[in-house]
Amino acid sequence: MAAVESEITIVGGGIGGLALALHLHGHGISCRIYEAAPVLKELGVGITVLPHAMRELTALGLGQTIEALGIENTESRFFNRFGQLIYAEKRGRYAGYKVPEIGVHRGRRALPNRSRSF
């Protein structure tokens, strides 16, 4: 019988699929990712990496890299069109989480050129 390269298939190379693949890789388990999009491209001005995502990315060893790329959010504030404050809440570590909430503006800094093979 031919050797099975990998029994784990991940459909979708978004953050969820790639994070799963990295976690599996960290446990010495290979996998194959299938992605429908022909190329991976940025979407939007940037991204807010929320504490639950930072927890997972920190577990993958990426926490410090992401912190260095962005700014730590301390608070979210919402205003009406007259500039009056509607609502404010602390974010990330300032709200009691163990990990920060990081805002990354993709136009300002580029990710370090890293590649990983599985």
Ligand X SMILES: Cc1cc2nc3c(=O)[nH]c(=O)nc-3n(C[C@H](O)[C@H](O)[C@H](O)COP(=O)(O)OP(=O)(O)OC[C@H]3O[C@@H](n4cnc5c(N)ncnc54)[C@H](O)[C@@H]3O)c2cc1C
Contacting positions for ligand X (CB under 6 A): 11-17, 34-37, 43-44, 47-48, 50, 53
Nearer to ligand X, 9 or 84 (CB): 9
Q: How crowded is residue 103: how many other Cβ atoms within 10 Å of its Cβ? A: 16
Nearer to ligand X, 52 or 98 (CB): 52
Smallest separation (angstroms) from ligand X to the CB of 84: 25
Q: Which of 85, 106, 102 is nearest to 93 (CA)?
A: 102
Smallest separation (angstroms) from ligand X to the CB of 65: 17
Position of minimal CB gap to ligand X: 14
Burial label for 21, CB within 10 Å (0-12, 13-18, 19+), is buried
Nearer to ligand X, 83 or 107 (CB): 107
Which distant-in-sequence residues (6+ apart) come within 8 Å of 55 by Cβ?
98, 99
Nearer to ligand X, 46 or 94 (CB): 46
Smallest separation (angstroms) from ligand X to the CB of 13: 5
Which ranges of 3-118 does DSSP label H, i.e. alpha helix? 15-26, 51-59, 63-69
